């Protein structure tokens, strides 16, 4: 899915990224896909959490310790097509090298805490002093204004969700909030806001010729998900809370058990036409349920009746039967289902690209498709410190001797043991889940 004939939309844009976990790294990944040169600054003393995770299959291998930070599946997911530069920003030499890179960049992108950036000497004023035209994009938990009450606090996506009340919507009414910590939607919402904000900042610079400070509060990007509920309370005093898989405007709507271990089907039949189709397919329901009001008032009983019917069916077969008669339904997909889903496969969702340490790696694609400039993946994400010397030379203009002295002074580091190569356990049978991709033995 590479593009060789047209210039990508963000070619010529260089991004200095101080990213950890998901929020700014995912934003930077989107920019890299569309041609930006995204330089990810990394630390050995305070590594990105995705580096710490590693992979279970190397955890017990002392001989692969150097490779472990490159093996986490999150590394390509968040960093495909970026360059990794190892700098210790808490050292004067490391910070000075960072400023030399920043002077040659268009965008500064960071999801570090606002206080942390200030303490590192990388607040907006300090960065603008070396590059007045910089589009400075920061997305800490609560914005960068010290006068704001939450300014001193730090936050992660999983704890943003309960802070804004999102977790109160998850789970069943009779149970405690279920929470959404596993996926952390606030991180992804912040990243998408940051992507739009970065493009807006670049456009403003194009118009005015001046740099700009873009201040994003992850708290507010998460709160934006709940806008209608907040406004409803403001206007009517209605307090919304968790209702499981039900709908507030019709029944039946829910997730129902099917044959097999933890197999489910989602069904929505809230209007008259779809309810009649579902009722006819089930073959035996009380006429009382023909009333929409009765279905809502007795939805727990209705769910029980539907569950008794669905539990004998294969979920895929049942979803097909329901769709065939006009009822909105779908299997509650597992990871394995998505791996073989015809839509994701047809859209080339899963990508395979070269990796310096692993040979190649798999990661998810980009949901945005531009007709003439669809984007490209140059690689599956960098090894830790892989591009340190390259970037310090080509971008910061440092000589080999200067770079070597910086490394010797512990202000920078390069890839450890680049000769240590490993491969994913799936490398010999990748065709089983990605048809059309050659196995390692066929390469």
Q: What is the pLDDT of residues 378-427, one digit of tens each?
A: 999 999 999 999 999 999 999 999 999 999 999 999 999 999 999 888 88
pTM, whole model, 2 decimals?
0.90
Cα–Cα distances in Å, from 22 out to 5, 139, 148, 186, 407? 31, 11, 24, 10, 28
Domain stop point among 339, 365, 395: 339
Residue 146 has pLDDT above 90, yes or no: yes
Residues 353 and 373 in one domain: yes
105 CB-near residues (< 8 Å, 6+ apart): 14, 15, 16, 39, 131, 134
Residues 164 and 289 in one domain: no
Residue 1 has pLDDT above 80, yes or no: no
Residue 2 has pLDDT above 80, yes or no: no
Residues 55 and 194 in one domain: yes
* Residue 41 counted as domain residue: yes
* Pairing mode, strands 328-331 and 264-268: antiparallel
Establish how many alpha carbons lie within 13 A of residue 413's alpha carbon, considering only the half-sphere containing its beta carbon. 19
Quick: pLDDT tens for 183-242.
Answer: 788 899 999 999 999 999 999 999 999 999 999 999 999 999 888 888 998 999 998 888
Distance CA 162, CA 169 (A): 10
Residues 291 and 352 in one domain: no
Domain stop point among 312, 339, 366: 339
Return the CA Rg of the chain.
25
Residues 293 and 430 in one domain: no
3-class DSSP state for residue 26? helix
Cα–Cα distances in Å, from 202 out to 31, 108, 177? 12, 11, 41
18, containing H or E segment: strand 14-18
Residues 268 and 323 in one domain: yes
Structural domain that includes position 183: 14-224+347-442
**What is the tally of structural domains in the chain?**
2
Residues 20 and 124 in one domain: yes
Residues 45 and 169 in one domain: yes
Domain stop point among 293, 320, 339: 339
Whether residue 439 contacts residue 352, with contact meaning beta carbons closer than 8 Å, is answered with no
- The CATH number that applies at residue 394 is 3.40.50.10540
DSSP 63: G
* Residue 159 counted as domain residue: yes
136, containing H or E segment: strand 135-138
Bridge partners (DSSP) listed for residue 135: 107, 212
* Residue 76 counted as domain residue: yes
Residues 66 and 117 in one domain: yes
Residues 52 and 193 in one domain: yes
Phi, psi of 336 (to 5 degrees): -65, -40
Residues 334 and 384 in one domain: no
pLDDT, mean over the chain: 91
């Amino acid at each position: 899915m590479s593009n060789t004939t047209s210039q990508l939309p963000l070619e010529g844009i260089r991004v200095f990224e101080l990213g950890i976990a998901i929020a700014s790294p995912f934003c930077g990944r989107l920019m890299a896909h569309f041609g930006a040169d995204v330089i990810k600054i990394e630390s050995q003393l305070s590594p990105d959490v995705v580096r710490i995770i590693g992979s279970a299959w190397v955890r017990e291998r002392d001989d692969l310790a150097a490779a472990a930070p490159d093996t986490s599946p999150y590394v390509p997911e968040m960093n495909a097509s970026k360059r990794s530069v190892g700098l210790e920003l808490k050292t004067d030499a490391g910070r000075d090298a960072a400023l030399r890179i920043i002077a040659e960049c268009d965008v500064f992108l960071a999801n570090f805490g606002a206080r942390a950036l200030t303490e590192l000497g990388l607040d907006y004023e300090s960065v603008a002093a070396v590059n007045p035209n910089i589009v400075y994009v920061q997305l800490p938990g609560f914005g960068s204004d010290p006068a704001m009450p939450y300014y001193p606090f730090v936050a992660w996506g999983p704890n943003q969700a309960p802070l804004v009340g999102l977790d109160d919507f998850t789970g069943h009414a009779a149970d405690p909030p279920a929470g959404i910590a596993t996926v952390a939607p606030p991180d992804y919402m912040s990243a998408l806001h940051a992507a739009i904000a970065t493009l807006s900042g670049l456009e403003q610079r194009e118009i005015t010729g001046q740099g700009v400070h873009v201040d994003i509060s992850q708290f507010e990007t998460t709160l934006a998900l709940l806008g209608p509920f907040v406004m409803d309370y403001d206007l009517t005093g209605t307090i919304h809370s968790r209702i499981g898989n039900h709908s507030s405007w019709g029944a039946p709507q829910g997730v129902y058990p099917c044959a097999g271990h933890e197999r489910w089907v989602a069904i929505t039949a809230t209007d008259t036409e779809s309810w009649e189709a579902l009722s006819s397919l089930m073959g035996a329901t009380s006429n009382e349920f023909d009333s929409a009001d009765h279905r809502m008032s007795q939805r727990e009983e209705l769910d029980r009746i539907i569950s008794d019917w669905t539990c004998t069916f294969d979920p895929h077969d049942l979803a097909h039967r329901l769709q065939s008669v006009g009822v909105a339904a779908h299997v509650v997909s597992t990871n394995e289902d998505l791996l073989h889903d015809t839509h994701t496969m047809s859209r080339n969702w899963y990508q395979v690209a070269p990796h310096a340490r692993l040979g190649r790696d798999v990661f998810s694609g980009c949901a945005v498709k531009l007709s003439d400039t669809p984007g490209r993946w140059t690689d599956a994400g960098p090894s830790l410190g892989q591009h340190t010397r390259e970037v310090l030379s080509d971008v910061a203009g440092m000589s080999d001797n200067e770079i070597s002295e910086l490394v010797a002074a512990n202000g920078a580091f390069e890839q450890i043991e680049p000769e240590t190569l490993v491969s994913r356990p799936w490398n010999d049978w990748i065709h089983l889940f990605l048809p059309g991709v050659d196995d390692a033995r066929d390469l």
